[in-house]
Structure formats: C-alpha cells, structure tokens
Chains A and B, each alone.
Chain A
Amino acid sequence: MQVRRPDDMRERIRMLSGALRGLADRPVKVMEVCGTHTVSIFRQGLRALLPPDVELVSGPGCPVCVTSQGEIDAAVSLAGLSGTTVATYGDMLKVPGSGTTLEEERSRGADIRVVTSADQALSMARGDRKRNVVFVAVGFETTAPATASVVIDAVREDLDNFMVLNLHKSVPPALEALASDPEVKLDALLLPGHVSVITGLEPYRFLPEKYGIACAVAGFDAEDIMLALVEVTKQVRKQEPLVASLYGRAVRPLGNTEARSVMEKVFTMKDASWRGLGVIPSSGYSLREEFSRLDVLERLGMTVNSTLPPEGCMCGEVLKGLIDPPSCGLFGASCTPVHPVGPCMVSTEGSCAAFYRFQRGRRTDWEHLP
C-alpha cells in the first residue's frame, strides 16, 4: 500500500496530478470499488492532489461493509454454541449485528479466534477433532478460492468437525447493479486489483460496452492509482471507454484460471443480499450440493434473518456513491470509529472510517505542510 517509495515519488505524483488537471475537461465521477483503494487514497492524501472536476466516490468493495446484519447475527449465534470455535478474519470482530459483536461475545467467553487465512481455520479443526470449527468465510474473489480449497481438503480428509459460514460475494454482479442504477451515474471505475488477479479482465467488459463506463484495473500504490485516474479521465474525454489494465505486474488478462477452476468445482452462484445494495441476482457464492454438508447453516438448519439498518444510518447511500460520508447525519456525531453505528465506520477499509480518520470530515487544508 505505501511501501514502495522511489526517491522521486513526489515529483512523479506531482506530474501525474498536473496531467490529470489538463485532461479533466468536464466533471468526472470515479468510483474506487475496492476498500483497499479507499484506504490507500486517504492514507496517501491523494484527494488533496486531484483537480476539482475529478470526484472520487467509494464503492461496495469492502467485504465487511456489505455483509448484512443478519449474517453477523448468524456468526454471533454460532459462537454461542458449546464445543464450537468460530474462526474469522479480524475485520469482522467489531461489526455490530442487531444486538452485539463477535468481539463482545469473545470477551464474554465465546471461543472466537482471528485467522488470516482459511487454511489456519482448517488446521484448528485438524488439531482438535472433538471441537467444531466454523470458518466465517467472507470476501470477494480474493478470498473465495482459499475457502474453496480448504472445503475440498476438509471433504478429502473427512473432517466432519469443520464447517463454513459461507458469505462470499462476487464483485462483477454488484458493479452491474450499480451501473444499471439510474441514480448512481458513474463516469468511471477504478477496478479492484486483488479481485482482478483472480477474475482477469473479461468479467468487466460489459461496463464500457453496455453502460459506457470507463474502467481501469489499478494497483495500490499512489502512482498506480494516479495513473489509473489519468487513464479513465482520458477515456472519458475521448469518449472511448474500455477496460484498461494498469496492474500488469499482478493481473493477467485471463486472471488466475487455476483458482477459478477450484472455485467452479466448489461453488455455484445464488442471489445474495448486500448491505446497502439489497439483493443482487447471482452475486453470492453457494456451496455445491456435494459440499453442502460443510455449510453450517444447512447442517444446523439455521437461516439468516433479514434486518433493517440502524435508524439514520446512510451506509447504503455511501456504498452506492450517492453521498459522501460527512453528508450522513450520524457522521462524527453519534457514529465514530470508537462508537460506530454503521459498517462503513467499523471496517478499517470503510469509507466513513477513512473520512473520519484521515480528514475529520472534509478537511483538506494542510497544503502548507513542509
């Protein structure tokens, strides 16, 4: 995100900022889809370097943010079962369900452990066959292949104490939902780098072809992001939208076919509910029938309840790029990173948290810094 720092970085970014200024001959609304991009843009302070005509809005690419409250409730209730360990990615701990969070349940004695890979969760199940281990499988195409791979391993090893709360979602259908929403009106998209490593470029072609949206797959350094902004602004100006890849060092046009074939073997697509965006057709990964005994909801006969968002919370509008976070009435008042109301303030990759932490709202008046 911020490691690679060539000596002439500031000069290079200054030149790109100048190029962008020259290219933007009309207002351009660009959505960065991925939460990692959102954080990188804020952490690098790039918003202060953009010309007024280039507007950046954050999209639905923070896995925690789009996980529904009912799904969090399901994870919390699993943590309450005796003899059960819930293994989860760290971001999920603080997200409020309708009553409590996994973090609160852990402090009350529930066995909830943070993992950084699906494989660590599987190892826990191997290590203690008497305990049930439920892996909270969250994320997009980036993490879904790892879940698919451990599901195959668990079946092969006959590990019947390993189960998955499968909440995986797919990015391209969510982008189609946004592109076809007449309210949203995007000119361009910065496509997610990590997801594209798996998907390749093909799944995004409909965006320029059907909706006329300029697209660039971007890496996560400041220079990657600025180059991608220059690229999409150029496409908008020339009115020649396409899917450009500016992350060639990681993304192959066809993506990672091996990872996709593992996913194909394990998952089938189903409609999924996204927090803020509602139900999007064929946007959720569901375990195929031969693996369904690993699906904890199916094994225990549980269902995910649909719940209403907290009163006044505008995370839905934020995730669609309709408003910026400071426009929400709760922002910075009753909703802060210490006392978050909505998921976009909880997640470190949420745009509300980024606006609060790095700008205290819309503050960008640091131009006189050394």
Chain B
Amino acid sequence: MTIDGYTVSPLSFNGGDIGKLSVCGSANDLSVRGARPQYLALGVIAEEGLPIRELMTYMESAANVCRSLGIELVTGDSKVVPRGQVDGLFLSTCCIGRTTQTTPLGAANLRPGDSIILSCPPGMHGATIAAHRYGLKVRGLSSDCAALWPMIEPLLPVPGLRCMRDCTRGGLGTVLCEWSEAAGLGIEIDEEMIPWDEATLSVCDILGFDPLHMAGEGCAAIAVSGEDPDRALGLLRAHSLGERASVIGRVTEKHQGMVGIRTVSGGTRLVDRPVGELLPRIC
C-alpha cells in the first residue's frame, strides 16, 4: 500500500496533468516494489472557482490510467475550500497492490558487481515543470509522466533482479545516493551511458540545475545481478517506455555509501543529492 499527495503547478503540462500524475505516481510506487496496483482511493481538495469542466478533465485523465492498468477506484472524497487556500487543485491517492515476489525488492539486496539500468532519460518531468514555472519555452520538452507497470511486469521473473525505484523527487542522483547508503556499498555510473533528453539538459543548463536532481515521473532505476543485465535490458527495451534503457553503472565494494560518476569529459566526481528546493541561479 502507498499514499502520496499531488500539488503540481501548473495543473496541466506537456505530457500529462495532475489527474494522470496522481494515479501514475502511486501506481509506480507499488510497481517498483514488484506489486501490481489494484485498488485506489482518491482525495480531492479543490479551490473555490476551479471550473467544473477543468476538474472533470483531470478526473478523466486519472480514470484513463486506472482503466489501462485495471485499477479499481474503490473510494474517494472531495472538498472545496475558499479561494486562496489551495493552488487550484490538490489530489491525494492511496493505492493498494499485490506482489508475488518471494523476496522483497530493496536496496538490501544489492551486491558488488550488480548492474544499474536506467529505463529512460532522467529528469524530464522536473524540467517541464521548472520551464513552466520560470517562463522558459523549450522545444521538444515533455514530462515523462507514465504508468510503469506494463514495462516492469515482464521483468519480475528475471533472476537476479535486486531492486527498482522510480526516480521522482530528487531525481536519479537521490535514488542512487539512497541505495548506496542503505546497502553500505559504492555506486559508479558513467555519464556517457545515460540516455539524456536534450530539451531537459537545455532547461538545466539555463537554470543551473543538475539534471541528476530533476524528477521523472515515468523513469525507473533498476538494479540487476551483474552477470546478466542483457536479459533485463532486452525486456525493458521491448516496451515503448523503456526503448532507450541503458546500463549506466555498477555497484562496487569501494566508496561505501557514495556515488561516483565519470563525466562526459572523462573527469570524475561525486554525485550528491539536492538540498531543499531547487532554485535557479542568477546568471
């Protein structure tokens, strides 16, 4: 079971809207733990004055994701609050799923030599929202907001599957830092192997953000035994969400609790996690 709140601004963005996000987000949290999302509770807090038609668009988006995944909406609640008390619309979803994994997926399963796979370009959702918030128009920029279950389900029987995470708030960098700390192992990645999205990089470049800190909403980091990353990679690439999946690094015994990256220039540095709100730089 998982619960999450959704407060995105703008409510509708290129690649999705708050309705789609609210179901994908919670469904993905379960999917990466190996559980098929099945039942959903939805809480709606709407600002007075939000047009009903607009609200219904978001509800329809949420319903579409439920239909596509076979999720039943079992209960819900709605409240309207005076103007100014929320920013248009806040949603919260609680999702229940079922897993058939005998060993729970998690960072404790990581072993030196394991391969780290990334399913798609990181940071696309965060870059899309940041571009909107700071008034940037970047061609080709779109959120990756998507339900991961159809891509992940075929992976579950793969022997050597260690753990998975959707790279949401804090981005890929944060996921890897958390894994290395939880497992007490090092992680090394190669920037050249990351399947970058050029529009996302442009936004980060302009605002001074690290793309490894930008959130995705349809992007998973997956750790598998180092002996056979190709099987997992093949299964991922067979799905449209994972067609750019790539092995981006490995787990090491050295550098326990830290993540290192070889940059596109061939230099090396640590990967950190962001501190607080990402704020654009001055120049």
- Give the B-binding residues of A (Cβ under 8 A): 1-3, 5, 9-10, 13-14, 35-36, 39, 42-49, 63-64, 89-94, 103, 114, 116-117, 120, 138-140, 142-143, 194, 222-223, 337-338, 348-349, 357-360, 363-364, 366-370
Contacts and interface: CB of A to CB of B under 8 A. Distances in A.
Contact of B201 (A3, A49, A142, A348): A3
Interface of B: 134-135, 188, 190, 192, 196, 198, 201-202, 204-205, 207-208, 210-211, 249-250, 254-255, 258, 260-270, 272, 275-277, 279-283
B275 A337 contact: yes
A140 B265 CA distance: 29
A85 B34 CA distance: 48
Nearest to B134: A116
Of B196, B264, B283, most buried by chain A (CB within 10 Å of CB) is B283
B282 A143 contact: yes
B272 A90 contact: no
Given A94-B279, A370-B262, A359 B249 contact: no
| B contacts with A: majority SS | loop
A329 to B, nearest CB: 22
B283 A114 contact: no
5 contacts: A10-B264, A14-B266, A36-B283, A45-B266, A64-B282
A352 to B, nearest CB: 13
Given A2-B201, A366-B268, A45 B262 contact: yes
B268 A367 contact: yes
Contact of A348 (B134, B208, B262, B269): B208
Contact of A1 (B205, B267, B268, B277): B205
A321 to B, nearest CB: 21
Contacts of A222: 263-265, 267
A10 B281 CA distance: 28
A369 B201 contact: no
A337 B270 CA distance: 15
B282 A358 contact: no
Contact of A366 (B188, B196, B202): B188
B270 A358 contact: yes
A93 B282 CA distance: 11
Contacts of B249: 370
A10 B249 CA distance: 17
A182 B162 CA distance: 58
B279 A45 contact: no
Given A103-B276, A116-B280, A369-B268, 19 more contacts: A2-B201, A2-B205, A3-B202, A5-B196, A13-B266, A43-B210, A44-B265, A48-B269, A49-B265, A49-B266, A63-B282, A91-B281, A116-B135, A222-B263, A337-B275, A357-B270, A369-B188, A369-B262, A370-B250
Contacts of A358: 269-270, 272
Nearest to B196: A5
Contacts of B205: 1-3
B188 A349 contact: no
Contacts of B201: 2-3
Given A349-B208, A358-B272, A143 B266 contact: no
A142 B280 CA distance: 15
Nearest to A142: B283
A43 B190 CA distance: 13
B270 A1 contact: no
B135 A43 contact: no
